[in-house]
Amino acid sequence: MGHKTLQITELYIYPIKSLRPVSLDRALLQREGLRYDRRFMLLKAEAGGGYKNIQVYHFPECALFHQAIDNDNDDDHVVVTYRIPEHPLVVPPPPEQYTALRVPLNPAIAGLETVDIKLFSSSATTYRMGDTYDAWFSACLGYRTILVYIGDNRRSVLAHAPQPEQPQTQSWFSHLTSFVPYYGQQQPSSSKEKASGLVFNEAAPFLLTSKASLRNVSARLPEGQEMDMIKFRPNIVVDEVWEESSGSEDSDDDAPSILAAWDEDFWAELSVGSTHRLALTANCARCVSINVDYAAGRPASGELGSVLKKLMKDRRVDAGNKWSPIFGRYAFLLPSANSSSSGGGEAHELDADVAVGDEVKVMRRISERDTWAWPK
């Protein structure tokens, strides 16, 4: 015989924000996000001299870029390729669309031009990677684009950092806030201090989703059509998995489910593996990006182009985002179960090595869904 367990079934990073993800078997969770996740972002040059963040909901053509990690050499790179759709968006396709671009994941920033950005109302200073990268993306996209890198700079966490449950936990909370990105922390005060905060992830270091909820979305589509999880752009995906006991060869297909659709709405804290912990602090509100046809680089037609509308019928469950359906939860990495408290205001390093197949347990639940709110 055997039993069902909750496990990590998929891990994703997006080295360049808004392009297709990289699927990983193992990942290093750091306090600002997964290693190499969303360290770069594309900006569109505006006529007035400013820049606009390139994000999938405004620029569905981002889905035509694929990313892969090359770590065979001493220096890690992300290799970006462009897949020309059946109906090309740039006619005739430029030669750059038939080539690959290698972007160093740890570039030297000395001498690079700086560009100030604002994402999800949170600001940071970034570094422009240079003409080689700008020219390749500009040719592929058909408009002037620049590639920026966040380096060691960080964006402030403006809402929903983990909070203590009770006043008597203040000593624990003081220790906790030295690990997690917290309100108002953005740039290091000296060259030796590493800032705490976000990179180009939007509101929290991690986004967690459930395959049970994805199956609920797919059930709303016509037979033969399924929703692709990558349209929800998660970092960590969990699902129930059958674990056979030693010596057992038979699986019990009728074993009761341990993961219901939307159960993650009520998860407050998870354990991953034996020691790692995640605080789930807020819901992820969805936009038209989930209606994108990733093969065409355009808004999808037919039923796949109306997924957002379908979810609006019963998934507008967050009073703080009352017009947007909810899918997934924002998360922060907490100190491991065997971390010892230490005094002082110095920010501690925090990381967790996780893998597909790691068991996940719900350690703490909430009785009512969180409500999204910006600080006043």
Query: Position 358: which residue type?
Result: D
Tell me, yes or no, whether 372 lies in a domain: no
If one counts the domains in the chain, the total is 1
Bridge partners of residue 239, in order along the sequence:
7
Beta-strand runs (E) in 157-291: 206-210, 236-244, 267-272, 276-285
For residue 125, the enclosing domain spans: 2-365
In this structure, how many other beta carbons lie within 10 angstroms of the beta carbon of residue 309? 12
Order across the sheet with 2-13: list the strands.
22-24, 2-13, 236-244, 206-210, 326-334, 276-285, 267-272, 360-365
- For the record, the structure tokens of 329 come out as 């939860």
Element at 124 (helix H, strand E): strand 122-128
* 108 within some domain: yes
What is the Cα–Cα distance from 352 to 235, expressed in whole angstroms?
A: 14
Unique residue bearing structure tokens 């964006």: 155
Note whether residue 136 is domain-resident. yes
Task: Write down the residue that tokens 């009073």 correspond to.
Answer: 319
Cα gap 375→61, rounded to integer Å: 34
Residue 66 near residue 12, CB atoms below 8 Å: no
Q: What is the pLDDT of residue 103?
A: 97
pLDDT recorded at residue 346: 41
DSSP state of 147: E
In this prediction, residue 273 carries a pLDDT of 86
Q: Domain with 80 in it: what CATH number? A: 2.40.33.20
On whether residue 230 sits in a domain, the answer given is yes
- Asked, for residue 107, whether it belongs to a domain, the answer is yes
With H, G, I as helix, E, B as strand and everything else as coil, classify residue 141.
helix
What's the confidence (pLDDT) of residue 206?
98
Residue 162 CB burial class (10 angstroms; 0-12, 13-18, ≥19)? buried
Residue 370 lies in a domain: no
* Residue among 114, 140, 133 nearest 51 (CA): 114
Q: Output the tens digit of pLDDT for each of the chain's 376 residues.
A: 688 999 999 999 999 999 999 999 999 999 999 999 999 999 999 998 899 999 999 999 999 999 999 987 678 999 999 999 999 999 999 999 999 999 999 999 999 999 999 999 999 999 999 999 999 999 999 999 999 999 999 999 999 988 755 444 444 344 444 444 444 444 444 443 445 799 999 999 999 999 999 999 999 999 999 999 999 999 999 999 988 776 655 555 677 888 999 999 999 999 998 789 999 999 999 999 999 999 999 999 999 999 999 999 999 999 999 999 999 999 999 987 665 544 444 445 688 999 999 999 999 999 999 999 987 5
DSSP 161: -
Q: How far is CA 88 from CA 30, 84, 85, 97, 157, in A?
A: 38, 6, 5, 11, 39
Decide: helix, strand or coil at residue 216. Answer: helix
In a domain, 283, yes or no: yes
Torsion of CA 129, 135, 137, 139, to 10 degrees: 170
Q: What is the pLDDT of residue 164?
A: 59
Dihedral, 264, 10, 233, 337 alpha carbons, nearest 10: 60
Structure tokens at 255: 């074993």
Residue 148 lies in a domain: yes
Run of H or E residues at 353: strand 351-355
Place of tokens 């993650």: 264
* 234: its two tokens: 């998660």
